[in-house]
Structure formats: structure tokens, C-alpha cells
Amino acid sequence: MFRLFIREHLIFLVFQFLLVAFVMLIYWLDGLRNLDTAIYSVVISSILTLTFLGALFVKKYAFYKKILSVPTKIEVVLQRGAHSPEIKQVDSYLQHIYRLYQKEVQLLYARQNRHLQFMNSWVHQMKTPISVIELMTQANDQVDSNSVAEEMDRLKRGLEAVLMNARLDTFEEDMQIEQIDLKQLVSQVVTENKRLFIGHHVFPVISMVEDCIITSDTKWLRFVIAQFLTNAVKYTFEENKKVYFESSIEENQVIFSVRDEGIGIPASDIKRVTKAFFTGENGRKNGESTGMGLYLAQEICKRLGHELRIRSSLGQGTTVSILFKKEEMIERGELDANTST
């Protein structure tokens, strides 16, 4: 502790030594006519310097003891024992760092907890299609290829959800903004999920304006549309119902909507359906719900700069919409064009 104090105030000691040497030089140039006065000046200045340093050491003793000890927990930085403005400012700075550290740790724990819960839920959900396929292969009759294909589609959707959830933490590194023909993209997603419609006896209806060009990321937007489609079909329990894919262009935005004729969402659950792992009343009716579909869709839309809206009437259906602002689309389109050039 004393060595640290000396190292910290070494410059001050050197300065004091040079100051005493300068005073002695003045006496020497004066002919040393009063040597006793010169010696008295040196002794007094040395005593005053040592007294000042001693008082300063006592004042900083608690601070040195704190920073030289090995901390046993991070909360030590919250202890206040400052007696000078400088040490008070250091304590305040450390407390700010501690608060930032706490926020980072909480975010990390939240991410790990989210991944763990999602993986547990996903593994439990994926047992169903695997069990079904296993039962098919054990049966003596010929395996129904359509049924196997449906179960494989469920596995693929589950795997894609896990991959997207894992990539969400590095979203900016896995994003490519480009101009997209929205109707063509929706048609591709519907075609990819045709077995889902056939299996539930639900029919897609695409009522979208032609040449509706938006600016977004194709891969992430494809996943969001697939989530809307899957939810619309999954919560339509009656046969021969329809799922409508619609788009409209208003003053300064393009609105894309997926509207179903399913069971709808209770009013008490509307504000919570985009929270992670929230399944609500409908999730309890459908054993395959993980509560992550709309959460991932909300997070993706937020990071892409799009607005997500959900409207629903219990027993009549649900409408999920994405709002693309035309100003942002024009700016992004010009930026992409300049970048390509």
C-alpha cells in the first residue's frame, strides 16, 4: 500500500526536491550569507511536505485498502467510503460500470433462458412426428407417403424455427436487404406449404395487387409469412375454411395481411401473443403450440423496420398485418441500387 502511494506521488516528490534545490541555488547565488536561514528553509519545507503526504495517505488509506484487496463479489463496487472528490467520482464511475454489467448479464441470462425453454419445448414437440413416422414404419401395411411427407414438413418447420431463433442474436450479420415482389414471395410460401392446407382441408386465397415491390430481407420475410400461414391453418379447426393473403397500397405504406376464418384470439390474449413462450387459451387447445412463432415474427419485423399488427375476433378469425413504409422502401431501394452500382 505504501509503495503504491509513493509511486503515485513520485512526481510530486521530484517536484518538491527540485523546488528545494532551486531555493538553495538562490541562496548560493546570494553568497550563502545566512546559511542557517537556508538550512531552516530546507527543514521546514521537508517537514511540511512529509506532513502533507502523511495526511493524504491517511485520507486515502481506505481507498487503497479497497483496491488492493481481492474482491469476493462484484457488489464491492457499490461500497461508498470516499473522502475526496476524486475518489467519489471513481466510485460513481464504478457504479455506472456495475449497472451496465448487470444489464448485460440480465440480457445474457434472458437469452440463455429463452434458448433453453425453446429447445425443451421444441424437442417435446418434435417427438410427435417422429413417433408417428416410427409407427408407420412398424405397421405391416404399406406406408402412406403423403402422411410421411406431412410429418416431415412438421419436422422441417420445427428445425427452421430453431435455426431462426439461434440466428436472431446475430441478425445484422445475416441480413441482406433487396427489392422483393411480395405477391410472388407469398405464392412461393403457399406452394411450399400446400400439404399443410390439404391436410387441414383449408384453402388459400391470394388477393394481392400486382407488381407490389417492397424492400426487405427475403429469407427473414419468408419465415415470417410462413409463421402467419402456419398459425392461420393450425387454428382453423373447421374444414373448408379459407386463409386470405391480401395486400393494399395506402398513402405512405404497403399493407400485407393474412386473414383466417379460425377460432380467433381472446381479447385478453391479444397484447401478449407476441411475448416469448406465451400460448394462451388457444395454445392449450392445440398441443403443438410453442408460443414462439409470433414472438419471432415480431422480433424480425422490428429489426427489419416493419410494423406488425394483429386484429382478432373470437370465433370469427384473426388478421395479422405487416406495414411497409413507402418512404423507407424508396430510400432502401436507392441505397441498394447505389451499392450495386
**Ordered DSSP codes for 183-243:** HHHHHHHHHHTHHHHHHHTEEEEEE--TT-EEEEEHHHHHHHHHHHHHHHHHT--STTEEE
Cβ 197 vs Cβ 260: under 8 Å:
no
Of 253 and 338, the one with more pLDDT: 253
Top mean pLDDT of 31-40, 125-134, 296-305 is at: 296-305
DSSP 262: S
Share of the chain above pLDDT 70, in %: 84
* Cα 229 versus chain centre, distance: 25
- Verify that 91 and 190 share a domain, yes or no: no
* Helices and strands per DSSP (H, E), number in the chain: 12, 7
Q: Is residue 82 part of a domain?
A: yes
Q: Are residues 94 and 181 in the same domain?
A: no
- pTM over the 0.75 mark: no
Angle (CA) 187-191-197 rounded to 5° is: 115
Asked which of 70, 100, 130 is the last residue of a domain, the reply is 100
Give phi and psi for 339, each to the nearest 5: -65, -45
Q: What is the pLDDT of residue 341?
A: 36
- What 3 state SS string does 48-117 have? HHHHHHHHHHHHCHHHHHHHHCCCCCHHHHHCCCCCCHHHHHHHHHHHHHHHHHHHHHHHHHHHHHHHHH
Is 137 part of any domain? no
Question: Could you say which of 54, 82, 100 is where a domain stops?
Answer: 100
Q: What is the mean pLDDT of residues 17-26?
A: 82
Shared-domain flag, residues 234 and 325: yes
Q: How confident is the model at residue 278 (pLDDT cuts 50, 70, 90)?
A: confident
The CATH number linked to 214 is 3.30.565.10
Residue 218 near residue 245 (C-beta atoms within 8 A): no
More confident residue, 90 or 338: 90
- Residues spanned by the domain of 65: 2-100
Q: How many domains does the chain have?
A: 2
- Of the three residues 67, 100, 133, the one that is the final residue of a domain is 100
244 and 329 co-located in one domain: yes
